[in-house]
Structure 1
Amino acid sequence: MEPAREIDTETAQVPGENEPVEAPRFILYLEGPAYVGALRLLTLWTHHVLLPVYGREATSAAPWCPTWWEHPEAVARLHALWMAWGALTGPGSDMAGPAVWHRDHLSPVMEALRDPQGPFAGCKEGKHRPKSQPSVETLDPFAPDITIAAETQTPEI
């Protein structure tokens, strides 16, 4: 196994290499092959680190979806959790990093994901339940009948 190489966080360079290393981007900004690659890495971390250590039995009070990657909110939260894991537990991180990760990142993310009203609501062991997105009405900012709230002290259109 090759030893881990440190990355200079100022220049995003690996010592001894000329090519800059691109910092990881938040998964919601990715698309196509970049998204698929990031999701694969996230899946490996989730299935080999997160769930074996922190996964608990799925119940109606604490649901978990077996196809969590089909829930955009779960993907976003888990990716952010993974990025924080890398920043707080990787080479050069402070010795208190893991404690900070548990307190500030792991607990809030897992509580939000496993909340009975959260993204996995209705999902059961071995069964994914697709969610319908809330409807969003589009507002035409140039429509003549839009009224601005009086608190803004902006005249009505």
Structure 2
Amino acid sequence: MNVPVGMVEDIEDLKAQVANLTVLVKKLTGGEEGEPGEALADDEETAGGEAAAEEEGDGDEEWQYPPFILLLDPPQYDDELRALIEWTEGVLVPGYLAEPSADARWCHLWWEHPVAIARLHAVWLAWQELTDPASCGYTGPSVWHRDHMDPALRELRGSTGPFAGCTKGEHQIDHRLPGVVPSAWSHAED
């Protein structure tokens, strides 16, 4: 029988969680005798000792989610942006972006628009996960198109998106920045 990758680890994690919850319920309901923590250690051993091993650092490293690109500092930001540019220019632009128009804008200097970087990075992270049949099955690409790529491109290429001030061959980065708004509070009474 073929067991999907990661399922065995998921089952072991669930066993450890059930054992810990069982001990907690017994302690809270008064059904456990002995010192607090003694039963927890016993149950962890019966669940494979995974909880104790992870706490001690002997277990596998905990999965870390990819960071939001705009919160990265150099050199991590530079590395992540370089990889994003490679994917966007190598996969997204030739495969999905037709000639820009008033209704479907695109900026050839998209990496100078922070909103575009943030959205494209999110789309790229989803693409990495959802195009691997081992982790998401064969429907992943469909989910990626429907839930990630299509909405992101609608937002990016729309008339109010980050490229709204950019026209064919022209780039305008500060078109979305608000201007100075006069305020009654800033005028001194005469």
TM-score over 0.5 (shorter chain): yes
Amino acid at match of 1:71: H
Identity of aligned residues (%): 48
1:114 paired residue number: 157
Which structure dedicates a bigger proportion of its chain to helix?
Answer: 2
Task: Check 1:133–1:59 CA distance in 2 against 1; reply closer, same or farther (3 A cut).
Answer: same
TM-score between the two structures when normalised by the length of structure 2: 0.58
Equivalent residue number for residue 93 of structure 2 = 51
Which structure 2 residue ranges, 5 or more long, are not aligned? 10-59, 182-190
2:141 alignment counterpart: 98
The answer to whether the aligner puts 1:123 opposite 2:158 as a matched pair is no
Aligned residues: 124
* Structure 1 residue 92 displacement after superposition: 2.4
Instruction: State the partner residue of 2:178.
Output: 134
From 119, 122, 143, the equivalent of 1:80 is 122
How far, CA to CA, are the matches of 1:126 and 1:35 in structure 2?
27
User: Residues 19, 123 of structure 1: CA spacing in aligned structure 2 closer, same or farther, 3 A cutoff?
Assistant: same
RMSD of aligned alpha carbons: 2.6
Cα offsets for 1:31-63 (capped at 9, x unmatched): 111101000000000011111110111011111
CA distance 1:135–1:124, change in 2 (3 Å): closer
Q: Which residue of 2 aligns with 1:64?
A: 106
- Runs of 5+ in structure 1 lacking a partner? 1-6, 11-17, 138-157
**Distance apart, 1:110 and its partner CA:** 0.3
Matched to 1:32, the amino acid is P
Choose 1 or 2 for highest CA Rg. 2
Report which structure shows greater RCO (CA 8 Å, sep ≥6).
1
**TM-score computed with the length of structure 1 as normaliser:** 0.69
What amino acid does structure 2 have at the position aligned with 1:113?
L
